[in-house]
Structure 1
Amino acid sequence: MKRILAISDIHGCYDEFNKLLDVVRYDSKNDRLILLGDYTDRGDQSKEVIEMLIQLNQNEHVICLRGNHDQMLLDWLLLDDPKKRDHYFRCGGEYTVKSYCHWFDQNHSYDDAKEYILKNYDEHIKFLSSLPLYYETETHIFVHAGVSPDSENDNWKEQPMDTYIWLRDEFFNNALKLDKTVVFGHTPLIDIHGSHEIWFADRKIGIDGSCCFGLQLNCLEIAEDGYKTYSVSKQK
């Protein structure tokens, strides 16, 4: 592989995702594309993003990881848990419903939408359910949210799922014991260092530019000669 390209937190921003792949001149034969989760919710085109990822994921050089929003969507669809349902819809789940159910309005319930999605989008549910929690190279670890700062080189893979997809302050505010650099999304960069540009720290690189909140979608390029960063602004 000539380059690794890492992108996170697409959140239904389908047009921006496609534009970013054009900006970085993504080459499906020679680049390894690593997507760090949170493909749905908050943006308007979650269904289109998932359809695109299913196609991209057929390429052995594409890695799609699981994020907390992907897990929340699965929990709503597959579990009968009112608390998880309510939490999901406090976190932008209604945008995903409207993306999959264009007929959805005040005359329909979320249960109607759930039944429709389960009936018509089994391939999407299987895809999301299959997503791994991390990806590792000789020099980097890729994960949605982070790894515990207590983790060491020989045991960091033993963490519970919630750590990989939900961790925030504990991860980026503390030094890591790992030899490899962790590339992560999940926490908006504006909350880490007051900017939506990619954040470089000691063995940590944050890339969530908050596109779904009107800022930008970032891409980190990792090549033999170092790092490069790319971004596209949220389209109005």
Structure 2
Amino acid sequence: MNRTIAIGDIHGGLKALIQLLQRIDISPNDKLIFLGDYVDGWSDSANTVTYLIELAKQNTCIFIRGNHDDLTEDWLKTGDLNEQWLQHGGQSSIDAYRNFSSEEIDEHLNFYSQMVNYYIDPDNNLFVHAGFTDIHGPEKEYHPKTVFWDRTLWEMLLSLDKKLDRSNDYYPKRLLLFEKIFIGHTPVTRIGKEKPVNIANVWNVDTGAAFKGKISAIEITTKEIWQSDPVYKLYPDENGRN
């Protein structure tokens, strides 16, 4: 059976990612769509990227760019230190790359450069890290980085009147563009949830791996969900982004 599986934010939690993929029991026939934020959090940020590079040699993988990936890539290219990045997990990535050779870093930079800002599959499902603001879709965003930073799609969903149906004039036009939308970026643990959350036709698959939550995955057709253990339990001597 060929499955398409969306995987939420990882934040350097390689041990949890490996555990998750074992629980999914992935095969070479599975298509894996990663929703971004591979780094910044736990100590395995750089090792996570190495693992994903190797995984893509065995499976069809699509790597969506997350805001943390963009920040780490910028640091690897320029050496510039973004203070906000350092306060939100960046130091863990700096530490993780400390013993990497220039050749290894070049390989990682190639990986970062090949990430995509969003992906639309043949069934018109959208996969994007954060969301989009333009009513004509992510390709029309004035600022390309909006798709991995902006939280308003999720905030709009949380305030959406559940009585509105798709035919109502006030139904959000953004939601009519795609069959389903899969996002990460904003942990559902902030609203007291532990598993991926579905509102309207959007699934938020970020279950707080950077903090006290798990890494989650969802099969996009059957909606079967898999999860790792809480990531912090696999890194008992670390604080993550807490």
- Tell me, yes or no, whether TM beats 0.5: yes
Relative to the length of structure 1, the TM-score reads: 0.83
Residues 55 and 120 (structure 1), Cα distance of their counterparts in 2 relative to 1, 3 Å cut = closer
1:81 is displaced (CA, Å) by: 5.0
SS class of match (2:91): helix
Q: How does 1:13-92 map to 2 (within 5 A)?
A: 13-28=13-28, 30-59=29-58, 61-79=60-78, 85-92=82-89
Counterpart for residue 108 of structure 1? none
Deviations 1:95-154 (A, max 9, x none): 11221215xxxxxxxxxxxxx765751110121122111111214100111122x423xx
Residues 64 and 202 (structure 1), Cα distance of their counterparts in 2 relative to 1, 3 Å cut = same
Q: How does 1:118-129 map to 2 (within 5 A)?
A: 120-129=104-113
Counterpart for residue 114 of structure 2? 130
AA aligned to 2:214 is Q
1:59 is displaced (CA, Å) by: 4.5
Return the alpha-carbon distance in structure 1 between the equivalents of residues 147 and 45 of structure 2.
22
Q: Which of the two has greater strand per residue?
A: 1
Counterpart for residue 221 of structure 1? 219
Relative to the length of structure 2, the TM-score reads: 0.81
Q: How does 1:193-232 map to 2 (within 5 A)?
A: 193-223=191-221, 226-232=222-228
Residues 80 and 24 (structure 1), Cα distance of their counterparts in 2 relative to 1, 3 Å cut = closer
Runs of 4+ in 1 over 3 A off after TM superposition: 79-82, 116-120
The match for 2:92 among 95, 107, 121 is 95
The match for 1:164 among 130, 140, 147 is 147
Structure 1 gaps, min length 5: 103-115
Taking only the aligned residue pairs, the percentage that are identical comes to: 30
Return the alpha-carbon distance in structure 2 between the equivalents of residues 80 and 17 of structure 1.
28
AA aligned to 1:172 is W
Return the alpha-carbon distance in structure 2 between the equivalents of residues 189 and 56 of structure 1.
27
Return the alpha-carbon distance in structure 1 between the equivalents of residues 178 and 63 of structure 2.
23
SS class of match (1:213): coil
Report if aligned partners of 2:30, 2:59 keep a CA contact under 8 Å in 1. Answer: no
Counterpart for residue 161 of structure 2? none
1:91 is displaced (CA, Å) by: 1.4
What number of residue pairs does the alignment pair up? 213
AA aligned to 1:145 is A
Residues 126 and 194 (structure 1), Cα distance of their counterparts in 2 relative to 1, 3 Å cut = same
Return the alpha-carbon distance in structure 2 between the equivalents of residues 179 and 5 of structure 1.
18
Counterpart for residue 176 of structure 2? 177
1:177 is displaced (CA, Å) by: 3.3
Return the alpha-carbon distance in structure 2 between the equivalents of residues 195 and 53 of structure 1.
27
The match for 1:144 among 113, 126, 129 is 129
Return the alpha-carbon distance in structure 1 between the equivalents of residues 223 and 124 of structure 2.
13
